[in-house]
Structures are given as C-alpha cells and as structure tokens.
Structure 1
Amino acid sequence: MAIRLNKQQVIYNFSKEHPPALIVENGATIQVETADCFTDQIDSANYAFSGLNWDQINPATGPIFVKGAEPGDVLKVKIKKIELDSMATMITGPDMGVLGSELTQTTIKKCPIKNDFVQLTSTLKVKVNKMIGVIGTAPKDEAISCGTPDAHGGNMDCKEITEGADLYLPAHTKGALLALGDVHAAMGDGEVAVCGAEVASLVTIEVHILKNSSLPTPLLVNSEKIMTISSFPTLDEASVDATKKMVSLLQEKSQLSSADAILLLSLAGDLRICQIVDPNKTVRMELDKHYFKLPLAD
C-alpha cells in the first residue's frame, strides 16, 4: 500500500541537515504531492508578477528518509505514475531564459490540460509529455538550492525523467533524503523560456537501495536506453562529464576498452541538452540498452 506525502512538506534546498518529512522502508511505494514550481502562487494570467515570492520557487516535497541507505549506496527511484492537475502555468520575460534580452515585458499564461494536450493559445496546443524537473538526494557537502542541478540530481529538467523510467541517485548521507517537485506537463529539451508547462501533480514512486554501488549517478534508464546525466556551469563541461560517465559504464558493463567505448558513442550515442537556463547546465548522454552486456545492478 502506498504512503502519501502532502505538498505542505517541502524544502527549497537539498541538505543533509533537513529533518525527514517521511521515513520509509526500502522498497516502499510513495505517493508524493507536488506544488508547481511557483508554489502555486500564480492563480491567473493577470497575476501581478512583481508580487511573486522568489524565496518560494522550485519547492521539492520531502525529504524522504529511506531506512538502510548509507553513504556510498545508490538510491533507485522507479517513476511509476505522474498525475497532473488540470491547469499549467508558463512565464517568460526580460532576463528570463535564452532570449530574455529580446523581451520587454513579462508574459504569464494559464494553460488548460485536456485530452492529453496542453493548450498554449486558443489555436495552439502541445501534446502532454509529463516529467519531473526537480528530483534529488542530499548533497555530500553544503546545501544546494532546489533551482540548481548538480551531482546530487536536483533541478536537472530532464524530460526523460517520466513514467516508466528508473532514476539512480547517490546516497551521501544516512537515509539519502530524497525530495522531488517541479513537475511539467510538457517541456522541450533546453527549457529555453525558463519554464515548462508548470503544474501541480501527484507522483507515485518506488524506492530501492543498491548497497555500495559503483554506478555513475545521476543515471536514468527506461525500456529502450540508458542515460548518464551531468550538470556543470557550462555545456562543454557537462558534455565531457556525461560522456566520461557513459564510457566508464561501458567499460564495466560491456568490457570495452576506453577507445572502443568512445568510438561507439561517436557512432551510436546521442548527447542532448536537458536544460540551459539554470546556474548549472544539464546534459545527458543516451545509448541504446542493447550495447550493454551485463545488467546495471542486481
């Protein structure tokens, strides 16, 4: 039976100092309520943007303490279901996103979600592609804002973190202290306007501990491909690190030499931008699962 965690239990940074909002057993199923990335502050397209409380951006519901998780372990998070609210919010404007310098005023849109589409305008709709923008564990050292992705996960804004995927995150502290939020009804790679279709949600996850695991994290797996994820101040740095992680994984799980693994990625690997609008930029390296001879984990 699933345990439910309400969206009043939130953090705005990932830290090993936070007391747990919920304590669960290894293997537990949890239903996590999430507010949208604005903590549900924007209630209409006429909202006075100047009144937005920027201290309440990107809330992550949690943290969740998983019994038995210790530093050096990996936490496997199975994304089982994402249920969306019926209305999404989008904003863009000066100094926001990739082209904020070209805008002179803020635009707020309330976008109905109906029949598996997000209605952007009266004549333009986009198919729902639900995903989790913020998900991570407590970092090894100092606290990290929920708006910043890093080695612990966080605001990766990877559109492949969706139903049916398994996300592997590091445990840097006892219990791992998992939290998540910033769900999108749709988002393209890059998140160029600074947001996706931001929406409140109910996310069902299942958590499993991999003891003393050597898997490179964050790592994402779905039915077709394996993805190494990396976040750094520049896309170049993130690209190099995501590629290094995939090469390391291929060496371990397919017994390839470093050179052969690099050549394989040049032929069959896809290096993709997750987001380009956060303090650290996030990149993923994707590779079809059939290139891996050994299972990732027991």
Structure 2
Amino acid sequence: MPDVVFPLDSARSFADQQKIGHNRWHPDIPPVETLKRGQTIRVDCREWFDGAIKNDDSADDIRDAPMDVVHALSGPFAVEGAQPGDLLIVDILDIGPIPQETGPLAGQGWGYTGIFAKNNGGSFLVDQFPDAYKAVWDFTGDVATSRHIPGVSFTGITHPGLMGTAPSHRLLSEWNRREGELIATDPHRLPPLALPPEPSGAILGTLEGDEYSRVASEGARTAPPRENGGNQDIKNFTRGSRVFYPVFVDGGNLSVGDLHFSQGDGEITFCGAIEMGGFIDLRVDVLKNGMETYGVTENAIFMPGRTAPQYSEWLAFSGTSVTLDGEQRYLDSQLAYQRAILHAIDYLTTFGYSPEQAYLLLGAAPIEGRFSGVVDVPNSCATVYLPTEIFDIDIRPSASGPTKIDPGMGAPRSANPS
C-alpha cells in the first residue's frame, strides 16, 4: 500500500487531526508534505461537509448545511521541482470509500445525495425544487442502493469531485475581482451569483494569528471550478485517469477532496453526487515548461480512466432552449439541459417515483449529459442518457404502459420548507 501522507481519524473533526487541511484557496497556505517526483501516496479525505450530514431519514441537515466550512480538502502537497509554468502530472491509481466503521461522522460505508434549498445554495433546478431533500445510499462493493429511492442499483464511478493546484497571488486577486463584480450586479440574489471570501469557518492548515486573519479574508471559496482545476465535478476522473494541472506557485501545492461514489453529468442537485469520505491513491510528477509547450494557459486537461460502468442500453431525453413559460432563448444550452432533465423527471414519475426521487436519482446515477446541437438558431438541443439496466423494472415505453414501483418512504424533506 502507498505511504499514507494525509491520515484522518473518522471520529474527529477535520480541524482536530494529526495534519490539518484547508477549505479555501490561497498561495500562502503552507504545504503539509513535500513529495518527490514519481512518488505514490495515499490520501484520506473527509466528505465535503466534515460530517454535518447524517445517515438518517431527515433532510434538516441538508437544509442547515454550513456552507462556510466547505470543502474539507486534504493537502496542500508540494512536489519537488515544480515551478510556475510547469504542468503537474497526477495519476489516479485507486479510490474508494472508508470501510464501515463506528463513529459519528459521515462517509463510513455509505454516502448521500442532497437537493439544496434555494436559500442555502440551491440547485440546477432550483425554481422547480426550492426545498431541501436527501437520499442516503448504502455501498455493497462497488454497487449503490438507497432505501429512499427503491428499485434501482448501479455501479459507482468513484472519483474526486475536487482536485487542483494553488493559485498565484495575481490569479487569486483576479478571481476575487471578477467574482466580486458579478455579485455586485445582484447582491441580494438567492441563490447568490458567487461566493465572496468568508473568514468565518475558514480552515487554513497551520496558519495562526495575523497571518491566518489575512489569508482568511483573501482566500477564495472552493465551490466553483477555476483555472487551477478545483471543484470541476467531472465523473470520469475515476481510477486510471491522468490529469495535467497548471502550476502557478513553487511546488504546485496540490489539494484533493470531495470524493464521490457516483455522479451523473452535471451534479445537478448541487450535492448531486453520492458524497462520501474515503481514500485516494495518487502518483505525482512534473512536466517542465508544460504550460507553454502545450498551450495550457489555464484549466486542467486530462485522460479519463477506463473503468467507467459498462452499460449498453440507454433511454435518452432531449430538451431545447425554450422556458417552461414558452419564452424563446437564443442557443441557451444550459436551459436546454434543464429541459432535458425535467423531461426525464416527468417520465420517471409515471412509474411511481416522486419528482424529488427522480431528481435525486438523476444526480447520483451515472447518466450521460450531452450538448447535442449548438448551431441551429434559435434552439440549442441538449440530451440526457439514462441507463435502463439500473432499474429493477423495464422503463422502456411499451404498449402495456408503465409498471408501477413501490416508492417506499420516499426522499426525506426538510421541516419548515420554503
């Protein structure tokens, strides 16, 4: 087994560990370890809310989830010889959930998917689903099932939702400038247009005192993907993948977290993957002057692994860039994808699922989302492909009509919904 360079005790909080990670991006957060080129390591990772979400039948914890503490990131890890302008090569060798254990914190042999409330993050379909819901998933080997969404089981496509390098001071300043200008266009919007630096809840490794206060006031939130990689939520970042990250600071300062047992394209419910605590095995190396050599001025490039679930039969749903109220939009691919997902949700409700169960399922299962047409004015076309083999019943259209499933207890809804 590789050297465990970032161990975690699942019975203790993220800030009360042998090595302290971070939940903000900043070049001055010191690395927890310096790695050699070609070194193979194992990193333990907490689920992104550090145990705030429980294995129960209530969604109040999703409703009240503390957004200022995410994401719980393991690292940063410096790599010997990495300098600005290089590409950091990261191979994902293995990844999986923490084995079943006793203890109060999330991630031990199970995970969860959540629809976030409009006043606490929202989701891709926030106008149709403004309240908080949750589904808990149990893991049996590489298969996920849920008491909250009966009648389905599927192979997980485990991956890190978040991995990236530290920004330079210049790049961090640019992030804060452009996102601040966006927020200023509608500062009271729910959900917000972006998340500005927030000192409350910041975890910054070993920083203390005035240095902690300065970095906490400047550090970028980890919610969006940016030029350094970050929270890209790409489900195909599974074992066997090789990722090339731009290096902006000496050492690169790689961090990783937000592990997912499975996810559909888009992580559409915001907490749309199956969130888990777990481990990831990585090998690191450096491609000198790689950014200039290959024209990688920003954003990671990657070679996906070959271990995705092998489904052969799909039912696909399409959508176009017309709102539910009949307003025509010009080549709005995001709207078209929303309409495709709403189409799939409506279809699944004819088999007995609630809209919330269908939405949670589409966020967690390995659906394929595609922008299928982006040139035919005025309508773009997006499609979502749902593997039919994950269902206990046949969901294909037929002359006999849909077979009804028992929806069970349904997806827990938070108390005092909006």
Q: Shift of the alpha carbon at 1:51?
A: 4.1
Whether the aligned pair in 1 keeps the contact of 2:143 and 2:153 (CA below 8 Å) is yes
| Selected match of 1:169 from 233, 238, 245 | 245
In the alignment, which residue of structure 1 is the partner of 2:152? 124
Q: State how 1:173-212 maps to structure 2 within 5 Å.
A: 173-194=249-270, 195-212=272-289
Q: State how 1:25-174 maps to structure 2 within 5 Å.
A: 25-45=36-56, 46=58, 48-49=60-61, 50-85=63-98, 86-95=109-118, 96-120=122-146, 121-140=149-168, 141-142=171-172, 143-174=219-250
Q: For residues 288 and 241 of structure 2, what CA distance do their matches in structure 1 show?
A: 20
Q: Shift of the alpha carbon at 1:94?
A: 3.2
Q: Shift of the alpha carbon at 1:26?
A: 1.4
| Range with greater deviation from structure 2 (204-213 or 20-29) | 20-29
The Cα offsets for residues 176-222 of structure 1, whole Å up to 9 and x where unpaired, read as 00000111111111111112000111000000011111232401014
Q: What SS does the aligned partner of 1:77 have?
A: strand
For normalisation by structure 1, the TM-score amounts to 0.71
Equivalenced residue count is: 231
Change (3 A) 1:129 1:236: same
Q: For residues 287 and 240 of structure 2, what CA distance do their matches in structure 1 show?
A: 19
Q: What SS does the aligned partner of 1:55 have?
A: helix
For normalisation by structure 2, the TM-score amounts to 0.52
CA RMSD after TM alignment: 2.4
Q: For residues 236 and 122 of structure 1, what CA distance do their matches in structure 2 show?
A: 32
Give unpaired runs (5+ residues) of structure 2. 9-13, 15-19, 99-108, 173-218, 307-331, 335-368, 372-418
- Partner AA of 2:153 in structure 1: K
Point out the structure with max Rg over C-alpha: 2
Q: For residues 47 and 57 of structure 1, what CA distance do their matches in structure 2 show?
A: 18
In percent, how many aligned pairs have the same letter?
Answer: 23
Whether the aligned pair in 1 keeps the contact of 2:5 and 2:33 (CA below 8 Å) is no
| Range with greater deviation from structure 2 (126-135 or 136-145) | 136-145
| Selected match of 1:19 from 27, 30, 48 | 30
Give unpaired runs (5+ residues) of structure 1. 225-234, 238-270, 274-298
Q: Shift of the alpha carbon at 1:104?
A: 4.8
Runs of 4+ in structure 1 displaced over 3 angstroms? Answer: none
Q: For residues 35 and 272 of structure 1, what CA distance do their matches in structure 2 show?
A: 31
Q: Shift of the alpha carbon at 1:124?
A: 2.1
The Cα offsets for residues 151-198 of structure 1, whole Å up to 9 and x where unpaired, read as 100000111111001000011001100000111111111111112000
Whether the aligned pair in 2 keeps the contact of 1:135 and 1:153 (CA below 8 Å) is yes
The Cα offsets for residues 14-57 of structure 1, whole Å up to 9 and x where unpaired, read as 22110111111111111111111222211223363254322222
Change (3 A) 1:135 1:104: closer
Change (3 A) 1:223 1:84: closer
Q: For residues 22 and 32 of structure 1, what CA distance do their matches in structure 2 show?
A: 11
In the alignment, which residue of structure 2 is the partner of 1:2? 3
Q: For residues 91 and 73 of structure 1, what CA distance do their matches in structure 2 show?
A: 38
Change (3 A) 1:222 1:92: closer
Q: For residues 223 and 117 of structure 1, what CA distance do their matches in structure 2 show?
A: 19
